[in-house]
Structures are given as structure tokens and as C-alpha cells.
């Protein structure tokens, strides 16, 4: 009897254990079936997207002066060399600006000029052509230089004459006389510190009727023709001879297509707005002043280069 009861207990335990194990195993099977299974096409798309981001990253162009973002481009957009060149040119057009020198006001105070800003094209283009793996930022090298003169350094800048040059014109020719006087007034009292540059077309500006310029004879393709602003080349030529005598460094100089009567052969400096220019820089280690005197009665224009007494000699 006891053996029978023991047998029933053992059988019961085995049955119960089997049921419990079955349930647990079923749960394990169910739990595995409940795990989300990603669609293979979805996985492939995600991998392709990651690969695209890695192979065609976005590049942030950063201004070297202040660390600010200039623009964002895709690496694929500048993979071709010409595309990189075009990008650099567009940035150059956007940021480059020539220096506008300081000027002495009528009351003797110094009026500040405008900084010269230059985007360094070659270093930028070199970096764009040699991007590193995982590079996400490109430093855009922009150099900014303000006029190198202050009220203190410009003190007494008009004391001493370093060089001068004078030319004559027919004062009875109203248009030409007016144009010479107008262009001369834009140059008068300009102060250039050491290393500062002078661009004639920038300083004098566009020669238009709205700005007071008149019709007068000028040289064009070896011919004398009437044009707005005729005579302003006499101003630039007189300026050229004065600064050349002072020993300043000439950066750009162009001659007329035929000889002019107001300066000797090859001593002229032709200019045209948006085209040929006359440029020079102050290569001295002290500020210089440009003083221009026009006598509309007798018909003369004189350009003087002056400096403080301590620098003369």
C-alpha cells in the first residue's frame, strides 16, 4: 500500500514538472518570436544612408577672423577642381575689398579709412583639393588690415615737402578744367601710413554726370574722342610723377595709347573706371600726405607729397 502511494506521488511530481517545463519552454519560444525582426530592405537603406553621409559629408566653411560659419557645402559639390575654383572665386568676390586710406579733415582731424580685406585664395584652394577623411570644417583664411596711421602718428604730417610735380592745362576748356578739379579734390589730404595702398579708381570713384563730371576730350584707342570725365588722366599722371619722385612703390601703371602733351613720353598714367588703374603704396616707415593744388585761373595742377619735419631729409 505504502509502495503504491509513493509511486503515485513520484508520478505526480514528474507530471507536474513536465507541465511546468513545457510552459516555461513555450514562454521562451514565444518571447523569441516577439522580438522585432528588421526588414532586410530597411537595413540596406540605412546602411546606404550611412555610407552616403560618410562618402559625401557636409563641410562647414569658417571665417578665420572670428570662427563664424560662412556657408555649408557638400564635399561632392567641390570634388571637381573647377567647382572648387568657382567656390573660391565667389568667396573672393564676396569678401575682398581694397583699403580706403585715412584723410585729414579741414579742421586738421584724422578721418579713419576702410580696412583692406583679402581672402587668401591659394591656401583655401589647396585645402579644398586635399580634404582629409572625416573632415567636416574648412578654415577660410581672410586677412584684414586697417590703415596704418593714427592721429598721433599723423601729427604734423603736412610740415615738410618731400616731392612735388606740376602740370598745365587750358583753363578756358570748362569741361576738362572741372574734371581735373573734381578728381583732384578726391585725392587732396589723403594720408598713407607705412604699407598703406592707394588705388586711383577707388579713391576718385566713377566719373559720371551725376557726380558733376562733364564731357571733354580723352584718348581712346589712339584717337581723341569726347567722353565723360576727360582730363582725369592728367590728375593721375601728375600724381604718378610726384609719388615717383618721392620714391613710393608703384604697383600698377599704364600708359596712354598715344603721347599726351602735359607730361613727357612714358611719364603718363592712364586710368579708366573698371579697367586700367594707377596704384601705389607707401613704402616708407612713416606717414605721408598727398596735397593737391588746382589753379583754375591760370590752369595748373600740382601734387605734393609731404611728411612731418622729423622724417625729411
Condensed to tens digits (0 to 9), the pLDDT of residues 233-246 reads 999 999 999 999 99
Q: What's the CA gap between 75 and 11, in Å, rounded?
A: 75
Judged against a pLDDT cut of 80, whether residue 145 lies above it is answered with yes
Give domain status of residue 305, yes or no.
yes
The pLDDT-based confidence of 141 (bands split at 50, 70, 90) is: very high
Per-residue model confidence as pLDDT tens digits over 165-176: 999 999 999 999
261-287 average pLDDT score: 94
Tally of domains within the chain: 2
Please say which residue of 111, 145, 179 terminates a domain: 145
Give domain status of residue 151, yes or no.
no
Do 243 and 272 fall into the same domain? yes
Judged against a pLDDT cut of 90, whether residue 219 lies above it is answered with no
Average pLDDT over the chain, rounded to whole?
84
Do 281 and 183 fall into the same domain? yes
55: left (phi over 0), alpha (psi -120 to 50) or beta: alpha
The pLDDT-based confidence of 183 (bands split at 50, 70, 90) is: very high
Three-state DSSP state, 143: strand
Judged against a pLDDT cut of 90, whether residue 268 lies above it is answered with yes
With residue 47 as reference, give the H or E element that holds it.
helix 40-55
Q: Which of 27-31, 66-70, 216-220 bottoms out in mean pLDDT, i.e. has the lowest? A: 27-31
Do 121 and 227 fall into the same domain? no
Question: Nine-digit cell at 103?
Answer: 584723410
CA dihedral 86, 89, 134, 66 (to 10 degrees): -160
189: left (phi over 0), alpha (psi -120 to 50) or beta: left
The pLDDT-based confidence of 98 (bands split at 50, 70, 90) is: confident
Q: What domain range includes position 280?
A: 160-311
Give domain status of residue 246, yes or no.
yes
Do 134 and 177 fall into the same domain? no
Do 141 and 164 fall into the same domain? no
Give domain status of residue 33, yes or no.
no
Do 288 and 195 fall into the same domain? yes
Give domain status of residue 32, yes or no.
no
Give domain status of residue 221, yes or no.
yes
Strands 102-104 and 110-111: antiparallel
Query: What pLDDT, on a 0 to 100 scale, did the predictor assign at position 257?
Result: 81
Judged against a pLDDT cut of 80, whether residue 4 lies above it is answered with no
201-216 average pLDDT score: 89
The pLDDT-based confidence of 11 (bands split at 50, 70, 90) is: very low
Q: What's the CA gap between 181 and 204, in Å, rounded?
A: 11
Q: Which of 22-31, 48-57, 194-203, 257-266 bottoms out in mean pLDDT, i.e. has the lowest? A: 22-31
Give domain status of residue 196, yes or no.
yes
Do 129 and 235 fall into the same domain? no
The pLDDT-based confidence of 57 (bands split at 50, 70, 90) is: confident
Query: What pLDDT, on a 0 to 100 scale, did the predictor assign at position 46?
Result: 54
Amino acid at each position: 500500500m505504502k509502495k503504491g502511494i509513493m509511486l503515485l506521488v513520484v508520478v505526480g511530481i514528474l507530471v507536474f514538472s513536465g507541465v511546468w517545463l513545457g510552459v516555461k519552454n513555450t514562454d521562451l519560444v514565444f518571447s523569441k518570436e516577439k522580438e522585432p525582426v528588421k526588414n532586410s530592405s530597411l537595413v540596406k537603406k540605412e546602411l546606404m544612408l550611412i555610407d552616403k553621409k560618410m562618402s559625401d559629408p557636409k563641410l562647414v566653411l569658417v571665417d578665420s577672423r572670428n570662427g563664424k560659419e560662412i556657408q555649408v557645402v557638400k564635399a561632392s559639390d567641390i570634388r571637381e577642381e573647377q567647382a572648387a575654383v568657382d567656390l573660391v572665386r565667389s568667396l573672393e568676390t564676396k569678401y575682398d575689398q581694397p583699403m580706403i586710406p585715412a584723410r585729414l579733415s579741414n579742421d586738421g582731424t584724422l578721418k579713419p579709412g576702410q580696412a583692406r580685406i583679402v581672402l587668401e585664395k591659394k591656401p583655401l584652394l589647396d585645402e579644398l583639393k586635399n580634404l582629409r577623411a572625416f573632415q567636416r570644417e574648412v578654415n577660410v583664411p581672410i586677412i584684414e588690415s586697417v590703415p596704418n596711421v593714427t592721429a598721433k602718428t599723423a601729427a604734423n604730417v603736412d610740415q615738410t615737402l618731400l616731392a612735388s610735380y606740376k602740370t598745365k592745362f587750358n583753363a578756358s576748356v570748362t569741361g576738362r578744367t572741372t574734371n581735373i578739379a573734381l578728381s583732384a579734390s578726391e585725392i587732396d589730404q589723403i594720408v598713407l601710413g607705412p604699407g598703406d595702398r592707394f588705388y586711383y579708381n577707388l579713391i576718385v570713384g566713377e566719373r559720371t554726370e551725376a557726380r558733376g563730371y562733364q564731357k571733354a576730350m580723352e584718348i581712346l584707342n589712339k584717337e581723341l574722342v569726347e567722353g565723360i570725365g576727360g582730363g582725369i588722366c592728367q590728375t593721375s599722371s601728375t600724381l604718378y610723377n610726384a609719388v615717383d619722385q618721392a620714391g613710393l612703390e608703384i604697383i600698377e601703371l599704364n600708359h596712354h595709347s598715344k603721347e599726351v602733351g602735359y607730361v613727357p613720353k612714358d611719364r603718363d598714367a592712364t586710368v579708366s573706371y573698371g579697367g586700367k588703374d594707377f596704384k601705389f603704396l607707401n613704402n616708407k616707415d612713416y606717414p605721408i600726405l598727398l596735397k593737391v593744388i588746382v589753379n583754375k585761373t591760370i590752369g595748373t595742377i600740382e601734387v605734393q607729397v609731404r611728411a612731418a619735419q622729423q622724417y625729411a631729409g
